[in-house]
Amino acid sequence: MTGQDKFLDQVTALLPALRAFGRSLCGDPARADDLVQDTVLKAWTNRDQFQSGSNLKAWLFTILRNCYYSELRHRKFEIEDPEGVCAAQVAIAPDHDAKLHLRDLSRALQHLPVDQREALILVCATGLSYEEAADVCQVAVGTIKSRIARARDRLVELLGDDAAHITGTLPMTGAPTEAADNVSAQRSGAT
Amino acid sequence: MTRSMIMSEKIKLSERPADTALGSAPEHVPEWLSNRLRRMFTDVMDEPVPEEFRALLRQLEEKERGF
C-alpha cells in the first residue's frame, strides 16, 4: 500500500504543473481540467507501467498530451476529417494574412500548430530538458529544436514588434528599420 | 576587401534569423518570450487546485483499499 500511496502523493504534488501544462496547451481552463482528470485516471490505471525512480512529471505530461491529441482527433473527425489527418498537422485558426498583434500570449499560442506549441511550452515553460521534451513528444531532439525555432518566429510576429524592438531581436545589420525609413522620408520631405 | 565581398557579407547577415545574427543557437528563445511563457505557466501553478481533483485522488485510493 505504501508504494501506491506514494504514487498518489506524487501525482497530487504534480497537479498544479499538470493543470498549467493542460491550460497552456489548449488555452481553456475548463477543458484543461478535464484533460488533467483524464490524465490522472489513465495514470492510475497504468501505474504498473511507470518505472519507479524515472521522471513522473514527464510521464504524466506524456499521458496528458496524448489525451489532448486524441481529443483533437475526435474534434477534427466530427467536423470534417473522415480520413483522419495527423493531429500534428492540426493548427487552430491558422492566419497567414497579417500580424494579429496579439498581446495575450495564451491566445497567440493557440495560433501555432499544436506540435510547435507543445515543444515551446515543454522546454520554455515547464522546465523540461530538450531530451525530456523529445521523449514526451516521441520525436528526435533536433525536431524539438526546429519546432521551437518556428514557434518562436511565429510568436514574435504575432506578439508584435514592440517586444522585438525593446529586446533587440531584430536584425542588427542589413535593411534599415521601418522607423528609420520614416524619419529619413520626413527629413527629405522637409528639405 | 572588394565592394562586392562586403555586399555579399551584408546580405548573408541580413538573411540570418534575428537570434543567430546575435550569435545564439537557432532554437534560442529570447528572454522576454521565455519569461512570459514561464510566467503564464507559474500563474496557473500558483492557483489553488480545485477540490474535485483531491476528491478524485481520494476516491482512487479508497477504491484500491476496497472501501
ipTM of the complex in this document: 0.71
CA distance B25 to A147: 13
- Check CB contact under 8 Å for B38 and A36: no
Contact assignment for A5 to B32 by CB distance below 8 Å: no
pLDDT of residue A6: 86
As a whole number of angstroms, the distance between CA A22 and CA A20 comes to 5
- What is the grid cell recorded at A37? 482528470
A48 touches chain B (CB under 8 A): no
Contacts of A119 (CB under 8 A, 6+ apart): A133, A137, A144, A147, A148, A151
Query: Within 10 Å of residue A126's Cβ, how many Cβ atoms?
Result: 23
Chain B interface includes A102 (CB < 8 A): no
Q: Give the three-state DSSP class for B23.
A: coil
Check CB contact under 8 Å for B21 and A173.
yes
| A143 chain-B contacts, CB cut-off 8 A | none
Write down the pLDDT at residue A43. Answer: 96
Hey, what amino acid is at B10? K
pLDDT at A103: 55
Mutate which of A11, A118, A169, A170 to disrupt the B interface (most B C-beta within 10 Å)?
A169
Spans of chain A below 70 pLDDT = 1-5, 77-103, 161-191
* Per-residue confidence in pLDDT tens, chain B, 67 aa: 445 544 444 444 444 344 444 457 888 999 999 999 999 999 999 999 999 998 999 999 888 777 6
Note the pLDDT of residue A137: 97
The pLDDT tens digits of the residues spanning A81-133 come to 444 444 444 444 444 433 443 458 998 999 999 999 999 999 999 999 999 99
What confidence score (pLDDT) does residue A100 get? 46
